Amino acid sequence: MIVLKTRKDLEAMAKSGLIVAKALEAAEEAVKPGMTTLELNNIVEKVIIGEGAKPSFKGYRGFPACCCISPNSVVVHGIPSKDIVLTEGDIVSIDVGAFFGGFHGDAARTLAVGKISDEAKRLIDTTRECFFEGMKMAVDGNRVGDIGSAVQAHAEKMGYSVVRELVGHGVGRELHESPDIPNFGIAGKGVRLTKGMVIAIEPMINMGTKDVSFSKKDGWTVTTKDGKLSAHYENTVAITENGPKILTLR
Ligand code: MG
């Protein structure tokens, strides 16, 4: 079931979105070579709790930390650890959710650790561009497939591949609501988008194969099958009568 949001709901969601934006900004400012992914997690958690919010991911289906931190070939759902040290040249994606005033906000960025290669930078930039290509399609009357096909077209034009197993989603009182928002698809197909819907658009773009592996060891970590880099960029987006509105970006 798709839960449409009222104007009042959207005002509340803008608040949880803002907290997510602040937490991601803090991570971006803090990230540096030598830092562990647990330290980065704790910086984010401090911001969320400091704002009086709750980290959406902590305890979600048993997830053990505040945010998902996924370096290099980890696509998403990396578990922060004191044993994972970020080093110069790494890329690291950080996915953050905050629950405040009854609603969740959900967003992700991929950050550079120190100086990174031009190749890695191009992947990060393209993944962000893929989000904006998809977001432009998030308008009343369009279909979910319009978003996915726009994301896929841009990624593939740049020589990259789109992960199929993980997709975006509705956001609201629940972290994951209907409908699914795939990063691939056929324009004009799928669920119709209407104003009042709030969705997380979150391209996961791989430098090599689109295929991924799911860790049997920790039950969470998703990595590229070929070990090549992957990047992630996500915002919570409201579909309004005036077009798409990003709630998790200042
Ligand atoms: Mg999400």
Where does the pLDDT of residue 212 fall: very low under 50, low under 70, confident under 90, or very high at 90 and above? very high
Pull the structure tokens for residue 232.
Answer: 């992630």
Distance 169 CA to ligand 1 centre (A): 6
Q: What spacing in Å lies between the alpha carbon of 75 and ligand 1's midpoint?
A: 13
**Mean pLDDT on 81-105:** 98
Task: Give the number of C-alpha atoms closer than 13 A to the C-alpha of residue 102, restricted to the C-beta side.
Answer: 6
d(CA 218, CA 137): 36
**pLDDT on residue 189:** 98
Tell me what pLDDT residue 158 has.
Answer: 98
Distance 108 CA to ligand 1 centre (A): 8
Cα 208 to ligand 1 centroid, rounded to whole Å: 22
Q: What does the pLDDT read at residue 139?
A: 98
Closest to 236 measured CA to CA, from 173, 182, 169: 169
> Quick one: CA dihedral 207, 91, 223, 235, positive or negative?
negative
Rounded distance from Cα 224 to ligand 1 centre (Å)? 18
Cα 233 to averaged position of ligand 1 atoms, centre (Å)? 10
Ligand 1 mean position, distance from CA 113 (Å): 23
- DSSP class of residue 247 equals S
Q: How far is the CA of 80 from the centre of ligand 1 (A)?
A: 17
Q: What is the model's pTM?
A: 0.97
The CA 183 to ligand 1 mean position distance, Å, reads 12
pLDDT digits (tens, 9 = 90+) for 147-205: 999 999 999 999 999 999 999 999 999 999 999 999 999 999 999 999 999 999 999 99
pLDDT class for 7, splitting at 50, 70, 90? very high
CB atoms within 10 A of CB 152: 26
pLDDT of residue 108: 98
The kind and range of the H/E element at 104 are strand 103-112
Q: What is the average per-residue pLDDT within 30-44?
A: 98
Q: What is the DSSP string of 35-68?
A: -BHHHHHHHHHHHHHHTT-EESSTTGGG--SSSE
Neighbours of ion ligand 1 (CB under 5 A): 106, 200
Look at residue 107 in the predicted model and tell me its pLDDT.
98
Instruction: Determine the distance separating the centroid of ligand 1 and the alpha carbon of 247, expressed in angstroms.
Output: 13
**What domains are defined for the chain?**
7-246 (3.90.230.10)
d(C-alpha 36, C-alpha 114), whole Å: 14
pLDDT at 39 (0 to 100): 98
Question: What are 110's strand-pairing partners?
Answer: 93
Cis peptide before 179 (omega within 30 of 0): yes
Cα(202) to centroid of ligand 1, in Å?
6
- Please, what is the average pLDDT of the chain? 98
Q: How would you class 205 by CB atoms within 10 Å of its CB: exposed for 0-12, middle for 13-18, buried for 19 or more?
A: buried
**CA 199 – CA 183 distance, rounded (Å):** 13
Residue 148 Cα, ligand 1 centroid: separation in angstroms?
15
For the four alpha carbons of 217, 221, 225 and 229, in that order, the dihedral sign comes to negative
CA distances from 161 to 190, 222, 231, 236 (A): 21, 15, 11, 23
**Distance in Å, CA 106 to ligand 1 centroid:** 6
